[in-house]
Amino acid sequence: MTLLNPKKSTDTIDIGGILVSTIEYTGKISLVIFTAGCMLRCPYCHNPGLIEGGNQRKISEIYNKIDDSIDFIDSVVLTGGEPSFQHEEVTKILRYCKKLGLNTKLDTNGYYPEKLEELLDIVDYVAFDVKAPFKKYKKVIGVDIGENVRKSIQVCLKSNVYLECRTTYVPGLLVPEDIMDIAKNIECDVYTIQQFNNKTVLDEKLKKIQSPSRKELFDIAESIKPYQNNIKIKTSEFGDETIK
């Protein structure tokens, strides 16, 4: 598989959009910045339009947008794409947010543990996509980065960030036993099992795969209770639900 190389640092950043959300950072109103570019080609990617790039914006424009929103937000979320693909630009934005006293959240796939470690002093919350059991990454997404992901999780655990691990359950690519395997081998503050949605995917063949039901996710979540203390499921029908 051919992967894109991260772009050289400039005073611009490629983004796919900016919006205000009440659900991306639990309990907070967030300005969500969708960074463009990703080094992976996950077949079930729900933002495939951002993989190859987005709209180039000056970082100063992003600062201005944050300034204009400061009266009604208390956090900024960097998502993607993959934020670490534009590591230096994302670092500038996160530092700017912390200077303003805003909470910060980073969504990441864990491809670069060293780059992630550099950000943890300016990030409050990391949402980490654990796409498969570590040994099954190549089979599920085509790239063997399981060890990178393991290292990235360990980096987060050594810091003070709030760590959410989350797995999108895609029938056919994963089976319930895979979620069990993941749950046994990760530590995090909350583990979220997300419902696969076939409406927008990178691999058109996956549009034929039916989304798992809420009950399927609930049953899987129940089965991993011995291994995780805080478990959620996320569905299009009911949003986030804590498994008690």
- CA–centroid distance for 101 within its chain: 23
Domains of the chain: 12-243 (3.20.20.70)
Answer yes or no: are the C-beta atoms of 72 and 110 closer than 8 Å: no
pTM above 0.85, yes or no: yes
Whole-number average pLDDT of the chain = 95
pLDDT digits (tens, 9 = 90+) for 130-144: 999 999 999 999 999
Q: Which residue has the tokens 């990391």?
A: 126
Question: Which residue is associated with the tokens 């099954």?
Answer: 136
**What pLDDT is stored for residue 53 in this prediction?**
80
In the predicted model, residues of the chain with pLDDT beneath 50 are 1-4
| Residue 139, helix vs strand vs coil | helix
Compute φ and ψ for 132, nearest 5 degrees: -170, 165
- 194-214 pLDDT, tens digit per residue, is 999 999 999 999 999 999 999
